[in-house]
């Protein structure tokens, strides 16, 4: 069943193809452009309606997830270096995090930035255990954690009980955090406390999956519906975790984001292609 949040009669448009594994799409509403990663190719690309797709960073250290902060600067997770970096306006990179407890991070994967500027990211071991995503090498951290970088730069491991933490997103009011676990194929929901720690964490929903498709990218729309990748495409759930349908573009989907002038275009990173699909419900404004 197609999700009812898709605009009636809309079809996915392939904007570009020929990639190896697309990921990490982020929409910049200030500049009206999309940035996304191709992890195995170690490249970051940019799309605009006027110019199409162009390469903006190569090599990218096998960049994966990207997010925009309230300062308008982009934060990126790098598999090769195990870093989380912020790009300045002049293109230089500031390292926000690259180690925990005296050891390198595993392979920062996906990232979100809160209204207060705090950076939250997942750190599974994919960039150290799967060759195209970073190469096979020792895994330095004993757990695959979830971390928070406070506005003052202090790093905290906020979760240490997930098998392979992957996609994450805030609730519509910004007070809760959804985190999916690809290793267990479910989504958990946490309350964000005043000090930046998390409480709760019950399983919110199980995600249909296969050996090649499971929970990865995850977003919330303006009505509070949650979108998460899985078997057959992007699974959509209402705020009470009731399934609404699946968005299928014909390829396995790794991630996606809302964009366009009205935030009603869903940009989909689907393995070797980038798609766009018009929605009846917009995404949430970045800031």
- pLDDT of 3 reads 86
The domain over range 21-211 is classified in CATH as 3.40.50.850: no
287 pLDDT tier (thresholds 50, 70, 90): confident
The strand pairing partners of 148, in sequence order, are: 120, 156
Residue 94's alpha-carbon distances to 23, 99, 176, 198, in angstroms, are 21, 14, 28, 27
d(CA 70, CA 112): 11
Q: Which two tokens stand for residue 244?
A: 């609404």
∠ at Cα 87 (197, 229), nearest 5°?
Answer: 60
The tens digit of pLDDT for each residue in 8-46 reads 999 999 999 999 999 999 999 999 999 999 999 999 999
What are the structural domain ranges in the chain?
21-211
- The three-class DSSP label of residue 131 is helix
Q: Which residue has the tokens 């275009």?
A: 265
d(CA 164, CA 23): 17
Rounded to 10 degrees, the C-alpha dihedral 267/270/273/278 comes to -30
- pLDDT of 34 reads 98
- pLDDT of 212 reads 85
Could you tell me which of 9, 21, 16 has the C-alpha nearest to residue 252?
21
The tens digit of pLDDT for each residue in 184-208 reads 999 999 999 999 999 999 999 999 9
Percent of the chain whose predicted confidence (pLDDT) is above 90:
97
Percent of the chain whose predicted confidence (pLDDT) is above 70:
100
Q: Mean pLDDT of all residues in the chain?
A: 96
- pLDDT of 1 reads 55
Q: Which two tokens stand for residue 120?
A: 């939250």
**pLDDT above 90: residue 58:** yes
Burial of 152 (0-12, 13-18, 19+ CB in 10 A): exposed
The tens digit of pLDDT for each residue in 120-147 reads 999 999 999 999 999 899 999 999 999 9
48-57, Cβ contacts within 8 angstroms, sequence gap of 24 or more: 52/15, 52/16, 53/15, 53/16, 53/274
d(CA 161, CA 263): 34
The strand pairing partners of 169, in sequence order, are: 178
- pLDDT of 225 reads 98
- pLDDT of 29 reads 95
**pLDDT above 80: residue 286:** no
Distance of alpha carbon 30 from its chain centroid, rounded?
20
Q: Which residues of 259-277 are buried (b: 16+ CB within 10 A; e: fewer)?
A: bbeebbbbbbbbbbbbbbb
Q: Per-residue pLDDT averaged across 222-245, rounded?
A: 97
- pLDDT of 132 reads 92
DSSP alpha helix (H) spans, the chain: 126-129
Q: Per-residue pLDDT averaged across 248-255, rounded?
A: 96
């Amino acid at each position: 069943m197609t999700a009812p949040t898709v605009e009636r009669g809309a079809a996915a448009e392939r904007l570009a193809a020929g990639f190896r594994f697309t990921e990490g799409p982020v929409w910049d509403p200030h500049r009206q452009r999309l940035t996304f990663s191709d992890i195995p190719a170690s490249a970051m690309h940019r799309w605009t309606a006027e110019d199409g797709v162009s390469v903006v960073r190569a090599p990218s250290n096998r960049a994966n997830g990207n997010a925009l902060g309230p300062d308008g600067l982009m934060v990126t997770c790098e598999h090769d270096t195990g870093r989380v970096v912020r790009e300045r306006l002049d293109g230089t990179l500031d390292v926000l995090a690259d180690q925990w407890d005296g050891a390198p991070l595993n392979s920062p994967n996906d990232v979100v930035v809160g209204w207060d500027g705090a950076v939250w990211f997942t750190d599974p071991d994919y960039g150290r255990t799967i060759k195209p995503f970073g190469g096979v090498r020792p895994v330095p951290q004993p757990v695959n954690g979830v971390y928070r970088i406070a506005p003052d730069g202090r790093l905290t491991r906020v979760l240490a009980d997930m098998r392979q933490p992957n996609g994450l997103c805030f609730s519509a009011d910004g007070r809760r955090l959804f985190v999916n676990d690809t290793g267990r194929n479910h989504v958990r929901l946490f309350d964000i406390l005043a000090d930046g720690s998390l409480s709760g964490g019950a399983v919110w929903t199980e995600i249909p999956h296969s050996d090649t498709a499971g929970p990865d990218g995850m977003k919330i729309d303006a009505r509070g519906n949650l979108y998460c990748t899985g078997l057959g495409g992007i699974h959509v759930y209402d705020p009470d975790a009731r399934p609404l349908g699946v968005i299928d573009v014909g390829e396995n989907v790794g991630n996606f984001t809302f964009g366009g002038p009205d935030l009603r275009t869903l940009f989909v990173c689907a393995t070797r292609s980038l798609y766009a699909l018009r929605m009846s419900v917009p995404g949430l404004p970045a800031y």
